């Protein structure tokens, strides 16, 4: 059977500083979706990386007295390292200075040109280096000192130079038609409404080249012009799957299933990007999902407030899976969310250490100790309580699946927690430690029911906490090829494992209790 392809991307980050927890959040959420789709049997391509061109990178390099290329290489390595620490299962990490990306960007440029959508003129207007964005005068807001700021609150400078323009205005109607015909093109709903209002308000042509610096992709046949950084950056999504040319890879993976990005860059992905693609006669991505922002105790993270958190340090302190679990369960995907060290410790202790970890640990060590690690064959007659637990676990895993398929990640985790609670209630009600003396045969049956239930909840939650579940499932002897949703439904792995004569070794705990550092 050929697997259905699935293409998912994160935004590519500006590596003008080290990665922060907001970057980690996007990578983790996208990774969970990619892992989930792999478990559903899809042939996944997962793309991430760094966006190294533009004025922001050029200026940061100048301030640090290094070349932009050296800055890009050094800083990109920290982003890659963060991804590797956080267990991000990307298929390609692109750095936009790579030669195939320059070729892809120049190819899309030529396609826009061939369609008559580029013309040379003079740009005079406002530019925010921080956002790498042009703004209309009417969009600007006033800062505390009366200075002009972008709608994102970043400084703007007056820019006047010769520039190539893209006929964005021509795409107002086609874009509105596309949004109407594809209500899921932009999610969540609130972002879709923002984009609709923006496009309905009219689109001006877009300046797509710069002449005042040379750090970027060269405009073909136009001496002195480099491409506007967003035009090249967005094209990374095509580069990653083999554009230009009619390659087998491109035909397989394009159009992308999801572009996962933050709410601040929805305009670029939901207006400019589809317009470029329409002009180049390339199919549009299926969905742009704008997630919310992560706030430190409700406050925006900023260097001046000193509240920027290094995600690898958190991963070291709390554990990679603990950080992944916290971010994905605490924040409703699509909304803003807040984090603090206390909140991480509280949630991980409650859900992972006390509920899930403890359930696994006490069940498995009981089997190791009292049954010499032997799994009972499930030939017993199940009681109503056993059947209720089977059904509840299956229903919860099915809900997890349904929610993940809709990118409702925190709701998926809530469904999963219901199964964990039910297992804990079951073990307390059945009390195998009492049955050991009063009814050993029933004790064995209870342990068999629990073993299967714990295996199933561990299989289900793999996309969220991949390392801990791998460790647990390895200890439990669940074969690699049985770790899928289809297997949970078929109820086959436990029987086969018990029949194989597998012996459970004394287990080691997967989730230690976390402590807050003294004084916090
Ligand atoms: N380089 C552009 C994206 C180009 S995509 C073709 C960019 N880079 S960025 O480094 O500023 O941001 C990278 C991603 O991180 C964006 O999706 C952005 O929304 C996200 N986040 C940045 N700060 C964030 C939080 N505080 N919280 C959550 N996500 C955040 O934009």
Over the stretch 117-161, which tens digit does the pLDDT of each residue have?
999 999 999 999 999 999 988 899 999 888 999 998 999 999 999
The Cα 165–Cα 6 span in angstroms is: 34
Instruction: Report the nearest atom of ligand 1 relative to the CA of 295.
Output: 26
- Tens of pLDDT, residue by residue over 364-380, are 999 999 999 999 887 88
Helices (H), 352-439: 358-370, 384-405, 409-430, 432-438
Whose Cα sits closest to atom 25 in ligand 1? 22
Q: Measuring CA to CA, which residue among 2, 3, 8, 6 is closest to residue 41?
A: 3
What is the dihedral sign for C-alpha 166, 170, 172, 177?
Answer: negative
The Cα 421–Cα 356 span in angstroms is: 8
pTM for this prediction = 0.96
- Do 389 and 449 form a contact (C-beta atoms < 8 A)? yes
Ligand 1 centroid to Cα of residue 341, in Å, is 22
Ligand 1 centroid to Cα of residue 448, in Å, is 47
Whose Cα sits closest to atom 24 in ligand 1? 22
Whose Cα sits closest to atom 16 in ligand 1? 262
Instruction: Report the nearest atom of ligand 1 relative to the CA of 51.
Output: 1
CA 322 to chain centre: 16
pLDDT grade for 457, boundaries at 50, 70 and 90: very high
pLDDT given at position 519: 56
pLDDT given at position 326: 98
- Do 300 and 308 form a contact (C-beta atoms < 8 A)? no
Ligand 1 centroid to Cα of residue 346, in Å, is 28
Whose Cα sits closest to atom 7 in ligand 1? 13
Give start-end residues of each CATH 1.10.730.10 domain in the chain: 341-499
pLDDT grade for 302, boundaries at 50, 70 and 90: confident
Give start-end residues of each CATH 3.40.50.620 domain in the chain: 5-291
- Do 229 and 53 form a contact (C-beta atoms < 8 A)? yes
Is beta strand 157-166 parallel, antiparallel or unpaired with respect to 206-207? antiparallel
Ligand 1 centroid to Cα of residue 10, in Å, is 9
- Tens of pLDDT, residue by residue over 234-285, are 999 999 999 998 899 999 999 999 999 999 999 999 999 999 999 999 999 9
The Cα 221–Cα 219 span in angstroms is: 6
Ligand 1 centroid to Cα of residue 80, in Å, is 15
pLDDT grade for 517, boundaries at 50, 70 and 90: confident
pLDDT grade for 439, boundaries at 50, 70 and 90: very high
In 129-204, DSSP assigns E strands to: 133-135, 141-142, 148-149, 157-166, 186-187
Is beta strand 186-187 parallel, antiparallel or unpaired with respect to 148-149? unpaired
Mean pLDDT for the stretch of residues 7-28: 96
Ligand 1 centroid to Cα of residue 264, in Å, is 7
The fold adopted by the segment(s) 341-499 is Isoleucyl-tRNA Synthetase; Domain 1 (1.10.730)
One DSSP character per residue, 71-135 reads HHHHHHHHHHHHHHHTT---SEEEETTSHHHHHHHHHHHHHHHHTT-EEEEEEEEEEETTTTEEE
The Cα 452–Cα 399 span in angstroms is: 18
**Mutation choice for ligand 1 from 264, 271, 276, 285, CB with most ligand atoms inside 8 A:** 264
Whose Cα sits closest to atom 2 in ligand 1? 13
The separation between the first and the last C-alpha atoms of the chain, rounded to the nearest angstrom, is 54
Pocket of ligand 1 (CB under 6 A): 11-14, 22-23, 25-26, 51, 233-234, 236, 261-262, 264-265, 293-294, 301
Instruction: Report the nearest atom of ligand 1 relative to the CA of 14.
Output: 10
Residue 520 pLDDT greater than 60, yes or no: no
Q: How many CB atoms lie within 10 A of CB 282?
A: 18
Mean pLDDT for the stretch of residues 59-85: 97
Instruction: Report the nearest atom of ligand 1 relative to the CA of 261.
Output: 17
Q: Which residue has the tokens 């939650």?
A: 461
Q: How many CB atoms lie within 10 A of CB 307?
A: 14
Ligand 1 centroid to Cα of residue 280, in Å, is 26
- Tens of pLDDT, residue by residue over 89-127, are 999 999 999 999 999 999 999 999 999 999 999 999 999
- Tens of pLDDT, residue by residue over 57-70, are 999 999 999 999 99
Across all residues in the chain, what is the average pLDDT? 95
Helix, strand, coil share of the chain (percent; to 5): 50, 15, 35
pLDDT grade for 2, boundaries at 50, 70 and 90: confident
**Mutation choice for ligand 1 from 10, 19, 23, 268, CB with most ligand atoms inside 8 A:** 23
Instruction: Match domain 5-291 to its CATH number in 3.40.50.300, 3.10.20.30, 3.40.50.720, 3.40.50.620.
Output: 3.40.50.620
Q: Measuring CA to CA, which residue among 91, 15, 439 is closest to residue 253?
A: 91
């Amino acid at each position: 059977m050929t697997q259905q392809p699935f293409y998912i991307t994160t935004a590519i980050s500006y590596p003008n500083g080290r990665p922060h927890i907001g970057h980690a959040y996007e990578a983790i959420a996208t990774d969970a979706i990619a892992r989930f789709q792999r478990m559903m049997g899809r042939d996944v391509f997962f793309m991430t990386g760094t966006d190294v061109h533009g004025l922001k990178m050029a200026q940061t390099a100048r301030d640090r007295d290094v070349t932009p290329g050296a800055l890009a290489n050094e800083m990109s390595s920290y982003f890659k390292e963060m991804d590797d620490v956080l267990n991000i299962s990307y298929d390609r990490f692109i750095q936009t200075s790579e030669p195939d990306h320059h070729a892809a960007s120049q190819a899309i440029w030529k396609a826009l040109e061939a369609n008559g959508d580029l013309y040379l003129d003079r740009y005079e207007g406002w530019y925010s280096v921080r956002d790498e964005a042009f703004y209309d005068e009417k969009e600007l807001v006033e800062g505390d000192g009366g200075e002009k700021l972008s709608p994102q609150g970043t400084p703007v400078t007056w820019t006047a130079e010769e520039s190539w323009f893209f006929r964005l205005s021509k795409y107002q109607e086609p874009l509105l038609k596309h949004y109407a015909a594809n209500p899921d093109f932009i999610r969540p709903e609130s972002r879709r409404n923002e984009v609709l209002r923006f496009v309905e308000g009219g689109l001006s042509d877009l300046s797509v080249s710069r002449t005042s610096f040379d750090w970027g992709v060269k405009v073909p046949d136009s001496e002195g012009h480099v491409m506007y950084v967003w035009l090249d950056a967005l094209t990374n999504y095509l580069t990653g799957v083999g554009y230009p040319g009619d390659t087998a890879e491109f035909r397989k993976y394009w159009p992308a299933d999801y572009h996962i990005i933050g709410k601040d860059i929805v305009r670029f992905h939901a207006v400019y990007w589809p317009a470029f693609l329409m002009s180049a006669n390339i199919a549009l991505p299926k969905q742009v999902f704008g997630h919310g922002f992560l706030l430190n105790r409700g406050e925006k993270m900023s260097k001046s407030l000193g509240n920027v958190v290094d995600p690898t340090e958190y991963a070291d302190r709390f554990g990679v899976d603990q950080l992944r679990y916290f971010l994905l369960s605490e924040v409703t995907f699509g909304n803003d969310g807040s984090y603090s060290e206390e909140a991480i410790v509280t949630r991980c202790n409650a859900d992972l250490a006390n509920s899930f970890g403890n359930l696994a640990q006490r069940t498995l060590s009981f089997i190791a100790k009292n049954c010499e690690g032997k799994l009972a064959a499930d030939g017993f007659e199940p009681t109503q309580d056993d059947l209720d637990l089977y059904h509840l676990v299956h229903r919860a895993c099915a809900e997890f699946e349904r929610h993940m398929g809709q990118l409702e990640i925190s709701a998926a985790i809530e469904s999963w927690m219901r199964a964990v609670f039910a297992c804990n209630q079951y073990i307390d009600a059945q009390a195998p430690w009492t049955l050991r003396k009063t009814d050993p045969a029933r004790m064995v049956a209870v342990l068999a029911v629990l073993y299967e239930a714990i295996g199933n909840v561990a299989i289900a939650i793999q996309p969220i906490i991949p390392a801990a579940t791998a460790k647990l499932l390895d200890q439990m002897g669940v074969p690699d090829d049985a770790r899928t949703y289809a297997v949970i439904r078929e109820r086959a792995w436990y029987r086969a494992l018990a029949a194989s004569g597998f012996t459970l070794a004394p287990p080691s705990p997967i989730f230690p209790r976390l402590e807050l550092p003294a004084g916090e």
